[in-house]
């Protein structure tokens, strides 16, 4: 199974694929960081791909109105776990992160490092798609 997550952002967050690409390039270009491995980052018209060996991870943006379920789940999570962010509602933009299968967990750290970088976006909320829970 591949990895999958959503990064929800407030509707007024100025964010583009170019911004995400720059953030990831800067992180992986840091020669002092142990994650600096042969990672190829490419921006396409509708997503960013991060590839190492033959494994790829894809990031796309979706800023359409959230579904009712998204809104309800986010509101509930914020009220319980991050009440300081309730005033940032609605969380209408999201980054969708999906990857190729990783049966041997060889690329889990690459996935986790990308999630860690995206979690640093202001007021970001991370949702683990496979677990069905917010992180």
Supply the mean pLDDT for the chain.
Answer: 83
pTM summary value: 0.83
Which one, of 89, 107, 88, lies nearest residue 98 by Cα? 107
Which one, of 125, 4, 117, 20, lies nearest residue 76 by Cα? 125
pLDDT for position 34? 63
Residue range of the domain that includes 57: 2-134
Which one, of 107, 100, 101, 122, lies nearest residue 19 by Cα? 122
| Region at 68 (left for phi over 0; alpha for psi -120 to 50; beta for the rest) | alpha
The total number of structural domains in the chain stands at 1
CATH of the domain at 50: 3.30.310
Q: Of 12 and 106, which is predicted with more confidence? A: 106
Mean per-residue pLDDT for 40-47?
A: 92
Q: What is the DSSP letter of 88?
A: G
Which one, of 3, 118, 7, lies nearest residue 70 by Cα? 7
**Sorting pLDDT into bands at 50, 70 and 90, what band is 44?**
very high
**Sorting pLDDT into bands at 50, 70 and 90, what band is 22?**
very high
Mean per-residue pLDDT for 45-50?
A: 93
């Amino acid at each position: 199974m591949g990895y999958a997550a959503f990064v929800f952002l407030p509707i007024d967050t100025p964010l583009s694929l170019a911004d995400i690409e720059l953030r990831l390039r800067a992180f992986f270009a840091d020669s002092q960081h142990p994650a600096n491995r042969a990672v190829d980052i490419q921006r396409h018209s509708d997503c960013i791909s991060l590839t190492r060996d033959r494994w790829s991870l894809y990031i796309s943006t979706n800023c359409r109105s959230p579904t009712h379920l998204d809104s309800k789940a986010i509101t509930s999570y914020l009220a319980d776990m991050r009440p300081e962010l309730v005033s940032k509602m609605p969380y209408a933009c999201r980054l969708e992160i999906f990857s190729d299968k990783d049966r041997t967990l060889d690329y889990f750290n690459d996935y986790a490092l990308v999630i860690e970088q995206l979690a640093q976006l202001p007021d970001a909320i991370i949702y683990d798609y496979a677990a069905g829970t917010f992180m």
